[in-house]
């Protein structure tokens, strides 16, 4: 991981990478023992009736951890998961397991999407309880990416491919935006859209996930007056690189120190299209008409403490 603008974060992010490498060395059984305490109790139990109600070899819990094992080790085949389950059953003298991968693949398709979403929320909540603070703030990183989806008619309608590609020669494109805890690396929330929806518009759906005492960290694409003002009114601190269209004239504003200034931005005439709505109480406050921005030309090293 390269963090040229935040060098003090390298050690922190490198430690997260080492943890992933450590997890990849565990067997399927050890992975379940290690991560099970962080998952909400009961979510991986069998359903009372209907789909996933039978206690099969590949029940919901065993299938979930097999799928998680493959996510942590992307080069792992389904046959390797079957072998891990065979070894587990052999260790406990629990019977014979067919070496065919069909049963596992079908069980993976039956994993309830609602259960996976609730597991993500539960893991995020557990991670936040262990998060370390930086000067009393909870750093949350905002970042987006684009991924391709299976080439189906429904996906092409919802997430059309790039116009530069001929029809039938490209894959649907999804735009994803995530909010991560910088302390634990946990994905706290996310939003998805197509390539025509900007990252700021996707972030507009996730603003309720920021609370008083948070620190929003993002790249220059998020450095806008409205976003900074909304965060400020929520009691959320912001740390962004200056947008390339804004000039950084350190001769203006109030001088705080070397390469450190306070400047005032005025509210734009029109509400940006990505902002779904501005709460009424914001419009009644005079401080929404102007926002004080602190410019730092050299990034200040950030260190985490207990």
| Residue 85, domain member (yes or no) | yes
Which pLDDT belongs to residue 214?
92
Q: Taking the CA atoms of the chain, what radius of gyration do you get in angstroms?
A: 24
- Residue 209 near residue 179 (C-beta atoms within 8 A): yes
Return the structure tokens found at 255.
Answer: 């001088």
Q: Is the pLDDT of residue 19 over 80?
A: no
Q: Is the pLDDT of residue 178 over 90?
A: yes
CATH number at residue 249: 3.30.420
Instruction: Give the whole-angstrom CA distance, residue 103 versus residue 283.
Output: 57
- Find the range with the poorest average confidence among 1-10, 101-110, 245-254: 1-10
Q: Is the pLDDT of residue 267 over 50?
A: yes
Instruction: Give the whole-angstrom CA distance, residue 79 versus residue 174.
Output: 30
pLDDT of 102-126, one tens digit each?
A: 999 998 998 888 888 888 888 888 8
Instruction: Give the whole-angstrom CA distance, residue 29 versus residue 88.
Output: 7
How large is the average pLDDT for residues 95-99?
86
| Residue 301, domain member (yes or no) | no
pLDDT averaged over the chain? Answer: 79
Place of tokens 């919901």: 60
| Residue 147, domain member (yes or no) | yes
Which pLDDT belongs to residue 210?
92
- Residue 240 near residue 224 (C-beta atoms within 8 A): no
| Residue 231, domain member (yes or no) | yes
Same-domain pairing of 104 and 161:
no
Range of the domain at 208: 131-296
How large is the average pLDDT for residues 22-30?
77
Same-domain pairing of 138 and 287:
yes
Query: Domains in the chain: how many in total?
Result: 2
Q: Is the pLDDT of residue 52 over 70?
A: no
Q: What pTM was estimated for this model as a whole?
A: 0.74
């Amino acid at each position: 991981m390269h963090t040229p603008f935040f060098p003090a974060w390298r050690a922190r992010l490198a430690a997260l990478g080492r943890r992933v490498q450590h997890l990849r060395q565990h067997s399927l059984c050890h992975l379940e023992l290690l991560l099970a305490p962080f998952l909400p109790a009961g979510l991986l139990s069998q359903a009372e009736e209907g789909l996933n109600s039978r206690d099969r070899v590949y029940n919901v819990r065993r299938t979930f951890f097999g799928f998680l094992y493959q996510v942590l080790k992307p080069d792992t085949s389904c046959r390797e998961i079957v072998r891990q389950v065979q070894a587990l059953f052999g260790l406990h003298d629990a019977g014979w397991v067919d070496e065919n991968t069909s049963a596992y693949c079908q069980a993976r398709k039956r994993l309830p999407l609602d259960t996976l979403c609730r597991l993500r929320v539960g893991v995020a909540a557990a991670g936040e309880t262990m998060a370390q603070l930086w000067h009393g703030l909870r750093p949350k990183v905002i970042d987006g990416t684009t991924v391709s989806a299976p080439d189906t008619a429904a996906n092409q309608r919802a997430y059309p491919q790039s116009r530069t590609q001929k029809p039938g020669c490209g894959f649907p494109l999804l735009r994803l935006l995530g909010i991560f805890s910088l302390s634990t690396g946990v994905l706290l929330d996310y939003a998805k859209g197509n390539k025509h929806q900007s990252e700021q518009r996707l972030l507009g759906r996730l603003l309720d996930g920021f609370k008083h005492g948070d620190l929003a960290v993002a790249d220059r694409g998020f450095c806008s007056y409205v976003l900074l003002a909304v965060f400020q009114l929520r009691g959320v601190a912001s740390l962004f690189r200056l947008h390339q269209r804004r000039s950084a004239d350190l001769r203006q504003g109030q001088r705080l120190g070397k390469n450190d200034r306070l400047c005032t931005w005025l509210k734009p005439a029109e509400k940006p299209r990505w902002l779904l709505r501005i709460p009424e109480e914001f419009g009644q406050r005079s401080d929404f008409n102007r926002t004080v921005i602190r410019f730092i030309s050299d990034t200040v090293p950030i260190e985490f403490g207990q």
